[in-house]
Copies of this chain bind each other. A is one copy, B any other.
Amino acid sequence: MSAEFERTSAEAVYRGKIFSVWRETYRYADGAEATREIVRHTGAVGIVAHDDEVVWLVRQPREATGIGDLLEIPAGKLDEEGENPLQTAQRELAEEIGKAADHWEPLHDFFTSPGFADERFYLYRATGLRDHRLEAESDERIDVVEWPLERLDDAIADCRDGKSLIGLLSLARLIDR
C-alpha cells in the first residue's frame, strides 16, 4: 500500500473567483488508478496575536456555514501577487486588528481539508505588538474581539473554525508550559 502516485490527467470543471475545481486521475505504484475531484485554492495565512493579557480575535459572517458569524483568529487569503505568506500575515494583522508585531514565529503549516482541497494554511504567532493600521478590503465585515488569556479555554470551547482551533490550542500549550 504505497502512497506514491502520479497525476495522469487533469480537467478543469469549474473556474471561480476564489477557487477552481478539477477532475483528475492518478496512478499508484501498484498500477491501480483513481479519479479525484479537487478544489484548488491559493492558500491562506492566520495569526495568533497576543500579549500577556489578551489574544486578538475576530468575528465575521461565514455565509457557507449557515450559522452566522464565527469566532476566529485574524486570517486572509494569499491573494496578492508577489507577497509571501509572512508578508500576507503582516498585512492581514494590520488590516484586521490594526497591529504590527516585533516577533513572528511559524506555528504550523497544514492543509485545511486534504481529502478534497489543496488549500494550504500558514499559521503564525505574533508578539511584541504595537499599533499599525492599514485600510482593510472593502467588503469585509469584521468585529475585533480582545479576548482575555485567562479565559482562553472558553474561546477554545466556543470556537467552530478549524484553523483558529489549531491556533488557540497551540497558544494554550505554549502558555501551560
Copies of this chain, complex-wide, total 2
Which A residues are within 8 Å of any B CB, using their own CB?
1-5, 7, 13-14, 16-19, 21, 23-24, 26, 28, 32, 34, 36-39, 41, 44, 59-66, 68-70, 77, 108-121, 139, 141-143, 159-163, 165-166, 169-170, 172-173, 176
Give the chain B neighbours of A162 by CB distance below 8 A: 110-114, 121, 162-163, 166
Q: How far is the CA of A38 from the CA of B26 in the complex (A)?
A: 26
Complex partner residue of A110 from B44, B64, B114, B161, CB under 8 angstroms: B161
Q: How far is the CA of A40 from the CA of B48 in the complex (A)?
A: 28
CB–CB B63/A160 < 8 A: no
Q: Look across to chain B and name the residue whose beta carbon is closest to the beta carbon of A143.
A: B1
Q: Look across to chain B and name the residue whose beta carbon is closest to the beta carbon of A168.
A: B169
Give the chain B neighbours of A172 by CB distance below 8 A: 173
Known: A4-B61, A26-B63, A70-B114. 5 other contacts (CB 8 A): A3-B143, A14-B14, A32-B139, A111-B161, A162-B163
